[in-house]
Each structure stands twice: as C-alpha cells, then as structure tokens.
Amino acid sequence: MIVIRVALPVPLRQHFDYLVAKHLVPAVGCRVLVPFGSRQLVGIVWQVAPDNSFAINKLKTVINVIDQQPVLPPLLRNLLSFAAEYYHYPLGEVLISALPALLREGRNLADYQPLAYRLTPAGKILESSVLRRAKQQHALWQALQQSDLTESMLLQQFSRAILNQLLKKELVAAYPVPPVPFAAPDSLAKGLQLTPNQALAVTAINQAKGRFERFLIEGVTGSGKTEVYLQCIAGLLMTQQQVLVIVPEIGLTPQTLARFQARFDLPILCWHSALTDSERLHCWQQAATGAAAIIIGTRSALFLPFMKLGLIIIDEEHDQSLKQQDGFSYHARDLAIKRAALEHCPIVLGSATPSLESLYNADSQRFIHLDLPDRATGHKLPQFKLVDLKQQVLQFGLADISLAHIRKQLSLGQQVMLFLNRRGFAPALSCQECGWLTECHRCSAFTTYHKQSRQLICHHCGASKAIPRQCGDCGSTQLIPLGQGTEQLEQNLQTLFPDTAITRLDRDSTRRKGALHSALDDIHSPGARLIVGTQMLAKGHHFPNVSLVVIVDVDGALYSSDFRAPEQLAQLLTQVAGRAGRGGSQGTVLLQTQYPEHSLLQDIIQNGYAAFARSALLERKHTQLPPYQYLALFRAEAHDTNHCQQWLTQLADLVHNMPQLQLLGPIPSPLERRAGKYRWQLQLYSINRTVLHNALDTLLAQLLSWPLTRKVKWQLDVDPIDL
C-alpha cells in the first residue's frame, strides 16, 4: 500500500492521507472517492507518498480511484493553489469548486463522451420501403447512408424522438467519438478596416503572442473594442490556439455570441450559470481536448482546462459581477491575470470605464495602456444635460422638460431609453394615515411592492408575502405605493404614451427563458419605442436606434458611505449614457436630479469618465484607500448581534498592535440585518500586502479554535468590493 494525500471539500484547512494499493496509485490531480467520517467524499489527489504521513496503521483506504488522467492538470493546480492561498480559502473546496458539478459528484468522464451515430448492419440492408410511412425516420436513415453523424450535427436536423425510434429498431447504433482539437481555418472572414487607434491596439497585442503581457484598453462606448478583440483572436485561431473571453453575467447576450459566430466559422461555446450540468461538462471537455476554439463565459470560465490557451480577454473589466460574492470570493480579473502568467499568454482588459485598480496599474506601467478615445463609427459621444427636479413640474417622476424631449424623439421615430435602477412597482407600500412602511421581517430593509405578481418581495433575502389589507401599525386600509420602480414606470409611460411600444428590461421581465432574447429583438427592430430598465441596460448592448437616454433617479447613490460609490456611479452613468446615439446623430442624456450642483455629477458630466477617474484616483491616494492600500474584510453573521460584535472584537484585539496595519470596526454592515441574521464587519488595511496576508494567516490559525467561532457564520473577503 502507498499513502496518498488528498484535498477534500471540507472547511478544514488541511489535507488527509489515505492508503491505496500500489498498482492503483493515481496521478496527482486525479479524483478519488474516500471515506470521511460517516460519509464518502470525492477528493483530488494532491501528493503521492508524502514524506511526513501519519501513522500508517491508522489510515483508511481509498474506496475508488475515479480517473486515469488528472482532471486538474498541473497549470490549473498551480492557479488554484495560488488562489486558495491568496484568498485564504480551504484548498480542497477551491479545487472541487473549479470542477463542473458532474465531476464534483464523482461521475465517470468516459460516460459523457460525445456520441456519433451510424447504421447497423441491419440498417444498411434495410429496404427503403419499410420506412415509407415514417418520413422523418426515413430522412434520417438516408442521411446516415451518406455519412455518420455526430450527435450535435444530427440534432440540428432531427429530433431526439426520431433518433430514439431508429435506435429502438436497432437500425442505428451509437459510438463514442473522442473530441479532437479544432482545425486551423484556411482563411477567415475579413474584419472591418481598423481606425488608427484600433490598429495600434491590435498590433501591440499581436506582438505579445506567446508571452505574458497585460493590456488595458480604455475605449469609450462604441469605440470598437469588440472589433479589436475579434481581430486579435483571428490571428491566434490560425495557429490553433484557444481563446477565453470573460464577460459579466448579463453581458453575455445572444448578440455577443452571434457577433463572434458571424466572424468565425469555428466551435464557439458559451459558459454561464443557465447551462445544465451536462452542458457544462460538455463545454469543459471541449476546452480540455482543444475542440473548442473560443469560449465566451462568465467568471468561472476562468477555471476551464484549456489545452492550448493563447489569449484571455476580460470585457467590461470594471464590472462587479467579476467578483464572487460569497464563499470563495475571488476576483476573476485578478485570477485571470495570474492564469495568463502561468499560460505565458497575453491578457486584455477592456472597458469604457476601467476600474481605478486597473488605471492605477496602467499608470504604474504594470499594464500597457491602449486608448480608444473616439467612437469607431465617427459618431459623437452623447451629450449630458442635468435636469433640476426642484425647478420642474413632475408627472410620474418625469420632469416636463424630459417629457418634451421624449415626445420629440419618438415623433422622429427614434427610441428612448429610461433608466431606473429599481425593479418592482414601488420600493415600499406606505400607510397614508400614519406613514408606516412595509418592512421585511428578516432584514433591515423595506419590501418592494410587485403589482403584477401581487406580492411584497424583499430584494435582499428573497422573502415574499401577500399584500396586507391593513396598516401593521394603525390598522388603516389606506395603503399606497411609495416611490417608483420599473414596473410602475412602464405602466405610467403607457398612460402618457398610449400609442408607443414599450419594452421593459429587468430581472423580473427577463426571468422567463427566451424573454431577454425576444426583448432584445424588439429593441433591434426599427421604429419608435420606449425602453425601460435597470442596470441590465448598461451592459455592453448596442442599441442603434436609441437617441435619448433619461436617467430617472440616481440621487440615492450620491450620498453613500461606501468609498467605491462614486466610482460605481460614474461607471453606471457613463455606461448607460453610452447606449445613446450609436446609430447616427449625437445622442442626448438627461440626468434628473435634486442635486444638480453636486460635485460628483458636475465632474462626470463636465469632464467625462477618464478625467473623473484620474481625480478619483488622486483622492484615493490622499485618503490612502485601495488601490493605495490593501484591504481585507471579515464579515460575521449571527442571530445574536452580540456574537458578531464580540467575535470581531476578538479578531481586532489580536491585530491591534501589529505594525503597518489599520483597523476599521467592528461596525454593523450597511444592511444590518439580512434573512433574520445580524451582520457586522471588520476592515483591515495595510500599505504592505505581505503584512496584511501574514496578519490574516495569524488570525485564521487562531480563530478556528475559538468557541465563539462556531456561533457565527463568518467570511473573509480579500480585496472586497462590496463594503
């Protein structure tokens, strides 16, 4: 017997040793099934014959060696162990979380090999007349006489039911086909004639082929970043290298995919949360075997096992959805950079509104900065106008002047976009007699009134309840919606513009499968239209018919305690505004506010994002905030608010006297109570990354043994973006 050391998906920060028969010893990176307490767990072999094993006679034996070949090749193991260390998260959980669910469950990879179909001997000698009455079966039978078909090719033309019937009659049989690397194309569709700035960018990136180099493309909305990506990708495909494109969760639209497919007649796969488990495994296999040329995916695509990765692109690199929020809270941008370093390939970050972190890296020469300051089509960037709500008559939250602009554009056959970052009908229901508001009983938040579904829904914990008949305080039945959400705005607009088509784009309206697709189709069809939506509207869409954007209300964001709030607001405004005027004449953006003199609004509007970002960065420097300091955050949650506070105080006491380390807290989190639990946080800052990470190591080594640790649900977030 040989000892192997296995990483298991358990919250303990250690590995576990097991015995395995000599002739079965798996390679490092293979999965094994092992006994763990009363359970059986799938783990990853991390070391064979470690030199400091426990007493061999106490070790248990591996139940089953699942893989012949490692599911985690050395490069990925390297990346993941770096990630586990950097984010101080248990390695076993990190490793397992990088695998598709079916592999996590210990399924056999061979069972999921793609299949192809051919005629059986009986099928080959079949008389054509036998299938005369079954037209579809006959057609499939004929097609298979020409050549075997892979499952995906076959299902493009025939239904599975038809296939199953021929399988049942034993006229057709399946056989596995191992995926093979995609073939380099002889030629590719020609791209657009590049602008000089685009050409510079493409040349710079192409020159970095085969080595690690970081690029930041700061390109205004519509500057042709995607065209730059496409032309960089083309060169790599000719040499059979794979490309990974990471996009924000809701930035991955059918349009994005269509644009790539129109350019490259090669296997392009998508990776996102709506895939089924077997679709995920399929994508994983296609990446591993080199069959996929391009994978466009959300943040976890970063952990796919590419056979030969030649380029990583992070589109909308500022987007917050690139950071995982709970558990293993990694930032896909930062880990992708690490991955590119390991792969010896270039990485391109692109955005119209780069994060201050990336701009800082560009300023300090770590990233090569590529600038696309103009729209590729030559169209002008939209013009901002502030609408002072204090001086305006309002109808349904819209100023008279805004309504006049809307009418004008609609009469010209243009589309108008109205942005309101609050879904639902109203942020709360309120009692007209005493002012009582409907609150979530589990969170320190109001519950949003959803008129269509007749519910009060808490947007923080998801709890929903029926609409009350009476005020919970005085018993009055005079309950009215307070404030406005997108659902109500849509209804009000219908009253104001009864003859205009309206499309709403938010998480509620797009929940149904295919709903987003059809909404986007509507928007792409010409003709006057009103488009209402939340920040879903801000993400990368190209809406050529929108000439006017009305930002209905962002005032809440002007007075936030989070030091990142100004950056996020500037990004949001710039991105939303960037949807206007992409088709022709210069677009207009009306920004409604009670605070037109607010310095942040003035800065963004007068100087634009690029200038705003530089001054914001300078301010971060003066106030010594990230990226000028490194930040880590402990969060604690418990039913008893004292437990949170005490636990964080214990942590704070430990680091109080460490040099070069500053503390903020413990303080209650901005949303003090969520889903019935109280929430507190403790922020740790240092100008020295090593000092900070050493402190975290010290804390983690101690806190696991505290009795109080079992009473709180805690999380350590390194480089948090949500404070």
Binding interface with ligand ADP (CB under 6 A) = 192-195, 198, 219, 221-227, 376-377, 542
- 40 forms part of the interface with Zn ion (CB under 5 A): no
Residue number with CB closer to ligand ADP (101 or 199): 199
Which residues is 588 bridged to in the sheet?
Answer: 383, 548
Cβ 352 to ligand ADP shortest distance, Å: 7
- 473 forms part of the interface with Zn ion (CB under 5 A): yes
Cβ 514 to ligand ADP shortest distance, Å: 24
From 337-345, 455-463, 692-700, 708-716, span contacting Zn ion (CB under 5 A):
455-463
- 456 forms part of the interface with Zn ion (CB under 5 A): no
CB atoms within 10 A of CB 143: 16
- 270 forms part of the interface with Zn ion (CB under 5 A): no
- Rounded to 5 degrees, φ, ψ at 420 are -145, 115
Measure the CA–CA gap between 305 and 342, rounded to whole angstroms. Answer: 13
- Choose from ligand ADP, Zn ion, none: what does 422 bind? Cβ within 5-8 Å by kind: none
Cβ 448 to Zn ion shortest distance, Å: 10
Instruction: Provide the CB-side half-sphere exposure for 68 (13 A, CA).
Output: 3
> Any known ligand binding at 345?
no
Residue number with CB closer to Zn ion (327 or 475): 475
- Choose from ligand ADP, Zn ion, none: what does 224 bind? Cβ within 5-8 Å by kind: ligand ADP
- 429 forms part of the interface with Zn ion (CB under 5 A): no
Cβ 204 to ligand ADP shortest distance, Å: 16
- 634 forms part of the interface with Zn ion (CB under 5 A): no
Measure the CA–CA gap between 375 and 379, rounded to whole angstroms. Answer: 6
Structure tokens at 9: 């998906």
> Any known ligand binding at 434?
yes
CA 191 to chain centre: 28
- 474 forms part of the interface with Zn ion (CB under 5 A): yes
| DSSP H or E run through 637 | strand 630-638
Cβ 222 to ligand ADP shortest distance, Å: 4
What's at 591, amino acid-wise? L
- Rounded to 5 degrees, φ, ψ at 632 are -135, 150
Residue number with CB closer to ligand ADP (192 or 238): 192
Structure tokens at 136: 């579809």
Measure the CA–CA gap between 310 and 121, rounded to whole angstroms. Answer: 44
- Choose from Zn ion, ligand ADP, none: what does 223 bind? Cβ within 5-8 Å by kind: ligand ADP
CB 15 within 8 A of CB 36: no
Cβ 698 to ligand ADP shortest distance, Å: 45
> Any known ligand binding at 232?
no
Cβ 242 to ligand ADP shortest distance, Å: 21
CB 242 within 8 A of CB 181: no
Write the DSSP assignment of 119-166 as a string of letters.
E-HHHHT--GGGGTT-HHHHHHHHHHHH--EEHHHHHHHS-HHHHHHH
- Choose from Zn ion, ligand ADP, none: what does 307 bind? Cβ within 5-8 Å by kind: none
Which residues is 238 bridged to in the sheet?
Answer: none
> Using CB under 5 A, which of 172, 471, 489, 716 touches Zn ion?
471
- 439 forms part of the interface with Zn ion (CB under 5 A): no
Beta strands in 478-520 (DSSP E): 479-482, 501-505
- 594 forms part of the interface with Zn ion (CB under 5 A): no
Which long-range contacts link 200-203 to residues 24+ away (Cβ below 8 Å)?
200/370, 201/228, 201/370, 201/372, 202/228, 202/231, 202/232
- Choose from ligand ADP, Zn ion, none: what does 436 bind? Cβ within 5-8 Å by kind: Zn ion
- Choose from ligand ADP, Zn ion, none: what does 251 bind? Cβ within 5-8 Å by kind: none
> Any known ligand binding at 458?
yes
Cβ 345 to ligand ADP shortest distance, Å: 21
- 436 forms part of the interface with Zn ion (CB under 5 A): yes
Residue number with CB closer to ligand ADP (213 or 227): 227
Coil, strand or helix: which one is 207?
helix
Q: How far is CA 122 from CA 137, 160, 309, 493, in A?
A: 15, 21, 44, 65
Measure the CA–CA gap between 313 and 697, rounded to whole angstroms. Answer: 32
Cβ 233 to ligand ADP shortest distance, Å: 13
Residue number with CB closer to Zn ion (33 or 463): 463
Residue number with CB closer to ligand ADP (193 or 561): 193
Residues 375-414: x/- map of binding to Zn ion (CB under 5 A)? ----------------------------------------
- 431 forms part of the interface with Zn ion (CB under 5 A): yes
Which long-range contacts link 611-619 to residues 24+ away (Cβ below 8 Å)?
612/570, 613/353, 613/354, 613/356, 613/359, 613/567, 613/570, 614/359, 616/356, 616/566, 616/567, 616/570, 617/356, 617/359, 617/360, 617/363
What's at 501, amino acid-wise? A
> Any known ligand binding at 270?
no
Cβ 459 to Zn ion shortest distance, Å: 8
Give me the helices (H) in 578-712, please. 599-623, 641-655, 689-703
Cβ 378 to ligand ADP shortest distance, Å: 8
- Choose from ligand ADP, Zn ion, none: what does 434 bind? Cβ within 5-8 Å by kind: Zn ion
Residue number with CB closer to ligand ADP (69 or 261): 261
- 460 forms part of the interface with Zn ion (CB under 5 A): yes
| DSSP H or E run through 97 | helix 91-97
What's at 268, amino acid-wise? I
Give, to the nearest 10 degrees, the angle between helix 225-238 and helix 196-207. Answer: 40
Identify the CA nearest to 486 among candidates 414, 591, 396. 396
CB 586 within 8 A of CB 379: yes
Residue number with CB closer to Zn ion (453 or 623): 453
Say how many residues touch Zn ion, by CB under 5 A.
15
Cβ 641 to Zn ion shortest distance, Å: 16
Cβ 200 to ligand ADP shortest distance, Å: 12
- 458 forms part of the interface with Zn ion (CB under 5 A): yes
Residue number with CB closer to Zn ion (28 or 463): 463
- Choose from Zn ion, ligand ADP, none: what does 474 bind? Cβ within 5-8 Å by kind: Zn ion
Beta strands in 195-352 (DSSP E): 213-219, 242-246, 268-271, 294-297, 309-315, 346-351
Residue number with CB closer to Zn ion (232 or 638): 638
> Any known ligand binding at 443?
yes
> Using CB under 5 A, which of 440, 636, 651, 718 touches Zn ion?
440
Residue number with CB closer to Zn ion (458 or 549): 458
- Choose from ligand ADP, Zn ion, none: what does 473 bind? Cβ within 5-8 Å by kind: Zn ion
Measure the CA–CA gap between 356 and 362, rounded to whole angstroms. Answer: 10
Residues 475-494: x/- map of binding to Zn ion (CB under 5 A)? -x------------------
> Any known ligand binding at 30?
no
CB 681 within 8 A of CB 619: no
> Any known ligand binding at 644?
no
Residues that bind Zn ion (CB under 5 A): 431, 433-434, 436, 440, 442-443, 458, 460-461, 463, 471, 473-474, 476
> Which residues fall in the annotated binding site for Zn(2+)?
431, 434, 440, 443, 458, 461, 471, 474
> Which residues fall in the annotated binding site?
431, 434, 440, 443, 458, 461, 471, 474
